[in-house]
Every structure is written in C-alpha cells, then in structure tokens.
Amino acid sequence: MEKLNFELNQVMKTVIKIFAFLLFVNVSFSQDAPKNGDAVKTVGYFDMRGTKAGYEINGYVVELTPEQVKMYDDRKLEVSGTVLIGKNENEVDIYIVKDVVVKILE
C-alpha cells in the first residue's frame, strides 16, 4: 500500500509539473490586446461582408473604399497602421486600424 501511495505521489508531481509548464508556455506566447495608438500589423484576408465600421481582417476593422474592396477581394494582404479602440452597438471593443497601409502579398 505504501508503494502505491508513493507511485501516486510521483504521478501527481509529474502532472503538476506538466500543467505548470503548459500554463507558463500559454502565458508567455499569448498576445495582449492592443492599446489606443499601438502600431499593429496583421496578415490575412478581408471578410468581404463588411460591418458598419468597415471590413474585418484578423479581428481588426479597416475602412475601405469600394474601389479598394474590389482590388483586395480574395487577395492575401499585410495590413499595418495605428489602432483605435471603439465600441460596437453591443458595447464590445472593436479595434479599428487608422493610417492604414495595405500590401498585397498574393
């Protein structure tokens, strides 16, 4: 019985170490939400459905003209600029990119 308790104790210590390591890795590589005025850069495709605020790419909203919408449709883009935090109609934070620079990658 003592040997079983010792083995369970060793297993629990190992599980705790693994859990602590995974928690550390998760916290170390997670991104903080941007603050007003932060420079941001993201790569992806615009959600061409659009919103009242603009078109979304990876959680950021960008204002586009109708000509830009046609030019960027189905293209892989790098978008950079300065973030402005606003609220949508449900009072949820939205991240609007101002001073936008769009680079077509594909």
The predicted-structure confidence for 5-46, as pLDDT tens digits, reads as follows 667 677 777 877 776 555 555 544 445 678 888 899 999 988
Query: Are 6 and 26 within one domain?
Result: yes
pLDDT digits (tens, 9 = 90+) for 37-96: 889 999 998 877 777 888 888 889 998 888 988 898 889 999 999 999 988 888 888 899
Residues 56 and 100 in one domain: yes
Question: Which amino acid is residue 98, in one-letter code?
Answer: K
Q: Do 6 and 43 belong to one domain?
A: no
What are the tokens at 45? Answer: 């495709």
- The pLDDT assigned to 24 comes to 57
Domain hosting residue 4, numbered range: 1-30
Question: Would you state the pLDDT for residue 30?
Answer: 45
Cα Rg of the chain (Å, integer): 22
